[in-house]
Amino acid sequence: MSKHLEAVKRLFGAVRRRDEAALLDSYHPEVCIHEAPSLPYGGDFHGQTGAVQHVRAFYRTWEGLKPRALIEETRQAMLVLEAAPNHVVVLGAQRARAPLTGRTLDIPEAFLFRMSDNRVIESWMFNQDTVAVLEFLKDART
């Protein structure tokens, strides 16, 4: 497995474990993260401070909506590909379950990572349907 693929897998593992030190080790100090601006954790985030702000907003948004079994199922279904010498693509799904209603969310998502020094220096996150994500989050919180 290439060093770039390993670095991206370490990043996803750090997010799953909520390990900010490992997360920061996976990101280049000059990282730039791009997420759909309409999402509660969306926008552009710069540097490692921005990376921490992004992941904390992600955690707050999905708190209680991603049970451990669902996280593990999602992890196993991910496809991680080296797309070019300095790029990694991850194909997966945004999955969640609202505990009060039982409503589920399961939509395709993709990530593109540009690598530098075996760390992520730029990332783009793409959900197939951000409107569905927002509607799920609204319903899950009411």
Residue 90, both tokens: 């991850």
pLDDT in tens, 50-103: 999 999 999 999 998 987 666 666 666 789 999 888 999 999 999 999 988 889
Long-range contacts at 7-10 (CB < 8 A, ≥ 24 apart): 7/88, 7/115, 7/118, 7/119, 7/120, 8/80, 8/88, 8/90, 8/113, 8/115, 8/120, 9/80
pLDDT of amino acid 66: 83
pLDDT of amino acid 39: 96
Helix axis angle, 3-17 to 68-77, nearest 10°: 170
Number of structural domains the chain divides into = 1
Supply the CATH number for residue 65's domain. Answer: 3.10.450.50
pLDDT in tens, 97-133: 998 888 999 999 999 999 999 999 999 999 999 999 9
Q: Which domain holds residue 74?
A: 3-140
For 142, counting Cβ atoms within 10 Å of its Cβ (0-12 exposed, 13-18 middle, 19+ buried), the class is exposed
pLDDT of amino acid 67: 74
Amino acid at 121: I
